[in-house]
Amino acid sequence: MISENILVLFDIDGTLLHPGSGARQSLSQAIHEEIGQQLKIEPGFCAGKTDLLIISSLLEKAGCLVQEIQPLMKSVIKRYLELLETNYNAKNDAYMYEGALELIEALNERPEVFLGLLTGNVEKGARIKLGPFGVNDLLPTGAFGEDGFDRTDLSRVAVNRAEAEYGVQFLPKNISVIGDTVADIKCGKVIDAKSIVVSQHLRNEEELIEANPDFLFTDLVNTENIVHAICDKKS
């Protein structure tokens, strides 16, 4: 039955893992190589954004003309991914948050639950970031940064791909979007799914509460409580 199928869509950065310095370093270097400017990417600047929006905003900030941005984005992303393969976790400073792997594994053990991604990372970047932690096979589908400019553009893409990947259908009330920003909450609301948000950084808890998620957790440690939040159907 359709109503028995549960879909869980995970954000990556700030939700499942801390990407360390390699990702921002790679993007900054890629932009510098393309336009000759060294841009400092502040911590938190990328939160809740797609890679397309991040790069477009940085190029605009650097003074690039509108007509220059689209072709530059393609070359920046290409170089960024090349650098990311080398730089990511080179300093062993990327790590999964406590409880993240346990949550994924607990959900994977439930036959009615299907897992995917809803992330602003382009897919190759997402896979590079998840690679060291051995969870790519458990998250085989999803929507990624190249699928839309705004995060909410990705929600329906993620559901459609999951339905095609798994050969089942998901009612909105049985879908959960798990993230760490207001943008993730909006991704859930735009498809009438459950929004589950984690405020483990503590920097943005007030704005997360104001965005009215269905559930707010301070971390991913209490696996049982989060699984209940996901598997109790939204009315």
Are the C-beta atoms of 6 and 176 separated by less than 8 Å? Answer: yes
Using alpha carbons only, what angle is made at residue 108 by residues 10 and 229, rounded to the nearest 5 degrees? 60
Q: In the 8-state DSSP scheme, what is residue 199?
A: -
Q: What are the structural domains of the chain?
A: 2-18+95-231 (3.40.50.1000), 22-87 (1.10.150)
| pLDDT score at 204 | 79
| 3-class state of residue 86 by DSSP | helix
pLDDT tens-place string over residues 140-185: 999 999 999 999 999 999 999 999 999 999 999 999 999 999 999 9
Q: In which region does residue 20 sit, left (phi positive, over 0), alpha (psi from -120 to 50) or beta (all else)?
A: left
Statement: residue 5 has pLDDT above 80: yes
pLDDT tens-place string over residues 90-117: 999 999 999 999 999 999 999 999 999 9
- Cα–Cα distance, 176 to 15 (Å, whole number): 14
Look at 72-81, 122-131, 201-210 and tell me which has the smallest mean pLDDT. Answer: 201-210
Residue with tokens 């405020």, as numbered in its chain: 199
| CB within 8 Å of 218: residues ≥ 6 apart | 198, 199, 200
Look at 65-69, 84-88, 153-157, 174-178 and tell me which has the smallest mean pLDDT. Answer: 65-69
Closest to 182 in 3D by CA, of 216, 158, 156, 148 = 216
Q: In the 8-state DSSP scheme, what is residue 214?
A: S
Statement: residue 3 has pLDDT above 70: no
| CB within 8 Å of 61: residues ≥ 6 apart | 39
| pLDDT score at 63 | 84
pLDDT tens-place string over residues 178-221: 999 999 999 999 999 999 999 987 677 889 999 999 999 999 99
Mean pLDDT score, 121-143: 98
Q: For the whole model, what pTM was predicted? A: 0.94
Cα 86 to chain centroid distance, Å, stands at: 21
Q: Give the pair of three-digit tokens for residue 32.
A: 């510098």
